[in-house]
């Protein structure tokens, strides 16, 4: 979206948009402190995570090719099929592809794509994974504030939404990339 702008325009645009995102987040946090029932707490924490997910999304709309160090994207010894299955990533995947969320990022779906798209797919999984890391850090800071103020119900709900909307998508991107690299080992030679 913004990746064609020059660096100054990118950083200015990103700062402006982040000011809006963090202002909304501040007010959601403030309103959540005044919430009197569980439904309000749930709704405000859900909106809080969605709002803060914009941090990662907007970052990659501005700086599309920024990545973590290359070794971050390599499969770790413990990241086996059993590991992902034990964590419930397969169940999460099933729920995701049968929900409206599947329409949010069509670049990370392979159905109907030519084999040449696999290299792009690998890069898209890295971008999505990094975006979810960035997006997950900010709700984590709000979670710590909730703990500081002794708002355990707030902390629990924000933790649940952060897990569902950031951690599990991150794990799913890793699982998908590793299974694709296992199926097509020559893709690593091109990356």
Angstrom distances, CA of residue 23 to CA of 131, 139, 142: 20, 14, 13
Output the tens digit of pLDDT for each of the chain's 191 residues: 777 889 999 999 999 999 999 999 999 999 999 998 999 999 999 999 999 999 999 998 888 888 899 999 999 999 999 999 999 999 999 998 888 877 776 766 677 777 788 888 888 889 989 999 999 999 999 999 999 999 999 999 999 999 999 999 999 999 999 999 998 887 765 54
pTM score over 0.85 = yes
Confidence (pLDDT) at 187? 72
Contact 55, 134 (CB under 8 A): yes
Angle at CA 60, nearest 5°, toward 166 and 139?
30
Locate the domains of the chain by residue range: 7-65+78-190
168 vs 157: CA distance, rounded Å: 15
Confidence (pLDDT) at 191? 46
What is the torsional sign of CA 61, 23, 102, 162?
Answer: positive
Confidence (pLDDT) at 108? 64
Contact 155, 147 (CB under 8 A): yes
């Amino acid at each position: 979206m913004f990746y064609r702008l020059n660096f100054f325009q990118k950083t200015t645009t990103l700062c402006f948009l982040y000011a809006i995102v963090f202002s909304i987040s501040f007010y959601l946090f403030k309103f959540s402190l005044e919430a009197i029932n569980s439904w309000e707490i749930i709704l405000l924490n859900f909106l809080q995570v969605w709002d803060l997910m914009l941090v990662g999304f907007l970052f990659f709309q501005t700086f599309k090719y920024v990545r973590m160090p290359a070794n971050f994207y390599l499969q770790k010894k413990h990241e086996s099929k059993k590991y992902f299955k034990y964590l419930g990533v397969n169940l999460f995947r099933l729920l995701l592809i049968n929900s409206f969320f599947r329409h949010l990022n069509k670049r990370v779906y392979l159905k109907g794509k030519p084999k040449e798209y696999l290299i792009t797919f690998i890069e898209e999984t890295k971008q999505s994974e990094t975006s979810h890391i960035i997006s997950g850090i900010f709700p984590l800071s709000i979670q710590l504030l909730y703990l500081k103020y002794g708002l355990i119900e707030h902390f629990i709900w924000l933790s649940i939404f952060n897990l569902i909307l950031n951690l599990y998508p991150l794990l799913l991107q890793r699982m998908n990339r590793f299974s694709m690299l296992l199926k097509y080992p020559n893709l690593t030679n091109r990356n």
